[in-house]
């Protein structure tokens, strides 16, 4: 089952798993790209179910359970984790930031618990959660998003410890800048000199290959950059990355 499986990295997970012969349940908010991805996967000869639902809605988990109630979900990929409120913290409403928390924490926890319990009983399975390098340091307009991504990484590490003796693989796949439709719609400047930009297909392939090597894998050759973000001089690393983010977002000047 792939939450956030309609386009970008989620769609690439779907295509690669379908080609490997896995039946799929794809969940995403937008019905049109969801059905397009599902139809492409069906051409590989596998069964594909779809559910178009906003994963921040109160009935999202109930509807997910209904569409998966008669199948064994052996692999859960939680790829739904966008920054739905990219504003400075004091300039947006708490309700808008709550949706970021619901999508990246609340619904993720509900899905992991629901599908993880049978995996533990069967003593097999996999849980892959897509994370972000934003979770390694503070960043303007990522005040809440960076926080939930940091939570996701610590959660993955802890869950990995809990499930490793049951042969249930747990991995957080940490993404850097990736050329997805969502990032293109945001208007990111992918041409910043020296910036490493990953391809969704490569990232998805890397995640599936590394699933058994949890708890965390940094994709796209960004491991050294993540290591630099752990510098104990937090002001230095945050300001340096802030300057880079201004270029990425097409903005000028720093504060």
Cβ distance 137 to 234 under 8 Å? Answer: yes
pLDDT of residue 242: 79
Alpha-carbon distance 250 to 107, whole Å?
32
pLDDT of residue 195: 74
pLDDT of residue 238: 87
pLDDT of residue 196: 85
What stretches of the chain adopt beta strand conformation (E)?
2-3, 24-28, 48-52, 75-78, 125-132, 168-175, 216-218
Cβ distance 64 to 53 under 8 Å? Answer: yes
pLDDT of residue 247: 72
> How many Cβ atoms from other residues are within 10 Å of residue 176's Cβ?
20
* Burial degree of 210 (CB within 10 A; 0-12, 13-18, 19+): middle
pLDDT of residue 254: 37
Residues 6+ apart with CB under 8 A from 155: 109, 129
Query: What would you measure as the largest C-alpha separation in the chain, in angstroms?
Result: 55
pLDDT of residue 82: 86
Whether this model's pTM surpasses 0.95: no
Per-residue pLDDT of the chain (255 residues), as tens digits, is 999 999 999 999 999 999 999 999 999 999 999 999 999 999 999 999 999 999 999 999 999 999 999 999 999 999 998 899 989 999 999 999 999 999 999 999 999 999 999 999 999 999 999 999 999 998 888 999 999 999 999 999 999 999 999 999 999 999 998 888 776 666 666 777 777 889 999 999 999 999 999 999 999 999 998 998 888 888 988 888 777 667 766 653 333
């Amino acid at each position: 089952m792939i939450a956030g499986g309609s386009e970008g990295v989620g769609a690439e997970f779907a295509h690669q798993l379908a080609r490997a012969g896995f039946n799929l349940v794809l969940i995403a908010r937008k019905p049109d790209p969801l059905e397009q991805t599902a139809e492409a996967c069906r051409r590989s000869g596998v069964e594909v179910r779809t559910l178009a639902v906003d994963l921040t809605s109160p009935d999202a988990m109930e509807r997910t359970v209904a569409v998966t109630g008669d199948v064994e979900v052996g692999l859960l990929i939680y790829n739904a984790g966008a920054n739905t409120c990219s504003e400075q913290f004091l300039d947006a409403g708490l309700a808008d930031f709550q949706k970021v928390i619901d999508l990246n924490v609340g619904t993720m926890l509900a899905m992991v618990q629901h599908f993880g319990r049978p995996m533990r009983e069967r003593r097999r399975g996999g849980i892959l959660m897509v994370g972000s390098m934003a979770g390694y340091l503070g960043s303007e307009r990522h005040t809440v998003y960076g926080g939930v991504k940091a939570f996701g990484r610590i959660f993955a590490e802890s869950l990995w410890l809990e499930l490793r003796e049951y042969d249930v693989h747990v991995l957080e796949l940490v993404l850097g800048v990736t050329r997805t439709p969502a990032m293109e719609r945001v208007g990111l400047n992918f041409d910043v000199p020296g910036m490493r930009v990953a391809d969704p297909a490569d990232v998805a392939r890397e995640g599936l290959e590394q699933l058994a090597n949890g708890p965390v894998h940094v994709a796209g050759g960004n491991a050294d950059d993540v290591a630099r973000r752990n510098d104990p001089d937090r002001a230095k690393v945050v300001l340096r990355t802030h300057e880079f983010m201004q270029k990425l977002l097409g903005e000028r000047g720093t504060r």
